[in-house]
Structure 1
Amino acid sequence: MAEAATAAATPLIHGLPDEVVLWEILVRLDPKSLLRCRAVRRSWRRATSARGFLLAHHHHDILAFDHRAAANAQLHRVARLDRHLYVDASCDGLLVLSTYYKGMHGSHISICNPTTRELASVVGPPWDFSTLGIYPHRPTSEYRLLLHQGSRKDLPKDQIGCFVLPLGPDQSPRYIGWPETKAELLDEPVHVHDGLHWYPDPGYHRSGSRKRESKPIIVFDTIAESFRQMHSPIVPTQAYIFEKDGMLGIYCHDDDKNTVGIWVLQNYESEVWDLKYQIRLPVEEIRGRVEDYVDYDFRDINLWDVNDVSGDGGMLLLVNFGWSVFHIDTDGKLIDSFNFDLQRLCVYQCQLKQSLVQHTFFPALKGYVVNASLFI
């Protein structure tokens, strides 16, 4: 009894409150470091074995890579999410979060600004929406969500498709239909020229197709709030769309993921595309930096930085492989590599631009809070 009382009265670290040690220090450790710290003291082992602590530690982090500071670029935490929360979309420093696997009934959608540390609920049950994108609607100066509602037996056909939801008090989703192609718009859209742009899900692994073809780009006009199509270059079916400085591009890789081709839309109105780069990835050098992997199979290839695509500037690729992210230039040179506490990384197709803008819609939304637990 006396020993237990003494242990309870002894602080985890002298000079610091236990709440700070637990929830500001230990909970941020990666699993390997946490296991090591448990061997330091019995009080540390007891505190980090509690169910509440383990649930909090099981959360996952949103990491940001600042591609503007290539010389000192690092991955850093932006927010710590519950294991059931996912990033759906981004725009002007705002992140749209969901607590569902796409397609499940009863989704809950929230919006946050990690810079101002604001969080609020947008929609939830009984709606069954997934988020396709977020955009500023210039005619009204409102931020709006583009939502999709899937097929359900209890819904009429005119309620299956896309909806627009302005962010503000007492707003309801407004039905706008569905693009003619019936394409699966699963990836994060690219926002340029007052439009959200998707390169349709190729279904590469489902169909096994490896032929080169041109698929129309799906465009959602954020002013008229209607869908249309654009031409795209003839590329392999596994291709992805990107944007930098208001210019649209598409990047793709060969079957072995050894070479990346980058197309740039030189003129938006005439829809003329140019094959700007073909980059041979430094496969052997990357293999040499990843000792725990024998087979070479990149998980994700993502284009991030475009410097003057109309001149002699280059582009910087981020390649996600296992626990590491590799930074590669247009000559195929490996610039740097990054990892985060040796944790496996899952790349979101989102760009986060830090913003201190105080949006008026936030306090009007349900559950509005500042300094919510997901912020660090």
Structure 2
Amino acid sequence: MAKAARAGATPSLGGLLEEIVIWEILVRLPPKALLRCRAVCRSWRSVTSTHDFLLAHHALQPALPLLDNGDYIDLINNSIDICCLNNRPGLAAPDQLQSVALLKLGGNFAYSHPVASCDGILIFCIDDSDFFICNPATRQYAPLLLPTDRRWTLLGMYPHTPTGEYRLLLYSYKPNPYNDDELAPGGQVSCHVLSLGSGQPPRRIGCPDVSMPECEHHVLFRGNLHWFPSHEDIEGKMIVLFDTTSESLREMRAPVADYAHLFEVDGKLGMAILDFVPTIDIWMLQNYEREVWAFNCRIELPVTEIRGQCNRYDGPLDLDVVVVPGDGELLMLVKFAEWLIRVGMDGKLVAAFHRKEVDPTYFQLKQSLVPHNFFPTLDGYVVNALPFI
């Protein structure tokens, strides 16, 4: 379809070919700017609405670190601000924190946090019990309705290549009637797969025989979901791997660490070890099949400079560090007191944002205007309406 559009291109805009305008300029615009450009002329609206163009547009969008303000929800309006960090060169520091969408949810809730991000789709958890799914670019939203007799944790979202479906991996347990945080007597933890848009409840795939992670952070790499358990009392921790095709779980070796998280950069799986913050060790997986890791570098956070940038805050050195890929490099985001700090791989402070209400996350948002067929099949689905403001 893209070739057909190019074959019919005609000169416009003082000599620029129409195909250059569309396939070199419009295709690189942010979603909101592209939607405004569709009002310029009918041909732009037609071409930029095709599936081929939308896929190309999504591929050229930057993957921006997703921030979290869920612990600071506007309790009066019950609103959630979906916010990203745009570290594009030349962008002034105040403009790097960008609001993507604002949602006003009904009811009363205390906090929310993102638990999955895939192909422009986000899933949030509210008060550790309810979930909703949305696409900020297309302004599509739906609650995720799961059976209420179990406690659910979302482990990951992924495109299932053989079927083209988007699927969720979850695990659950029946809670003790006297304590929701405890397993019911004689109960078991079970893993489930939910195919979005299938109209079917989560499908049980068995009881895991590996240590399941307590956090929702995951990395989709080579068609597999990966986690590093956050349990403090586990010795010799291994990475948990879920094969999205065979729907099986196994473990793989990891560098020795108590506190760490995974990331992907330049087609490789990496691990940031945070055992002795303000020192961060970066390891990279050199051979995926043989599970061979190699030490990459050690980064010392500029503590004195960070304190100075944060109005010489002299409270406890409580640093929340997240290492995420960004535009071909690794970004270190540090939450310290009421500031969000960006530190370079050379250990130097790059930027500081005085934003009490913003925390770093492990997720990225790569916006997409590609319509997903599963959304309209979900109960409670809306588009371009409340809860989007």
Partners of 2:163 and 2:283 in 1: CA distance: 34
Aligned to 1:139: 162
Partners of 1:328 and 1:353 in 2: CA distance: 22
Cα deviation 1:38-84 (Å, max 9, x = unaligned):
xxxxxxxxxxxxxxx9711x5342221124x1442611112335454
What is the TM-score normalised by the length of structure 1? 0.73
Aligned to 2:119: 92
Cα deviation 1:228-281 (Å, max 9, x = unaligned):
11111123x1111112243211111343x2211100112211211111110111
Partners of 1:157 and 1:115 in 2: CA distance: 45
Aligned to 1:61: 81
Cα deviation 1:96-127 (Å, max 9, x = unaligned):
123332xxxxx432211011110012224525
Structure 1, gaps ≥5 residues long: 1-29, 31-52, 102-106, 309-313
Letter in 2 for 1:131: L
Give the secondary structure class of the aligned counterpart of 1:200: coil
2:297 to 268, 277, 288: 277
Higher strand share: 2
Q: 1:195 to 1:54 in 2, by over 3 A?
A: closer
After superposition, the CA RMSD in angstroms is 2.7
Letter in 2 for 1:196: L
The size of the alignment, in residue pairs, is 302
Q: Check if 1:221 corresponds to 2:243.
A: yes
Q: Check if 1:325 corresponds to 2:340.
A: yes
Cα deviation 1:136-170 (Å, max 9, x = unaligned):
11111100111121233587968731110100142
Give the secondary structure class of the aligned counterpart of 2:372: coil
Aligned to 2:386: 373
Percent identity between the aligned chains? 41
Q: 1:64 to 1:121 in 2, by over 3 A?
A: same
Partners of 1:261 and 1:307 in 2: CA distance: 21
User: Max radius of gyration: which structure?
Assistant: 1
Q: Check if 1:364 corresponds to 2:377.
A: yes
TM-superposed CA distance for 1:294, in Å, is 1.2
Letter in 2 for 1:355: S
CA contact (8 A) 1:218 1:230 kept: yes
Q: Which has the higher contact order (CA 8 A, sep 6+)?
A: 2
Give the secondary structure class of the aligned counterpart of 2:347: coil
Partners of 1:85 and 1:111 in 2: CA distance: 12
2:253 to 231, 244, 247: 231
1:291 to 305, 311, 322: 311
CA contact (8 A) 1:202 1:238 kept: no
Partners of 2:197 and 2:121 in 1: CA distance: 15
1:191 to 220, 231, 235: 220
What is the TM-score normalised by the length of structure 2? 0.70
Letter in 2 for 1:224: S
Q: 1:268 to 1:62 in 2, by over 3 A?
A: same
Q: 1:54 to 1:163 in 2, by over 3 A?
A: closer
Aligned to 2:139: 117
Partners of 1:194 and 1:286 in 2: CA distance: 38
CA contact (8 A) 1:192 1:243 kept: yes
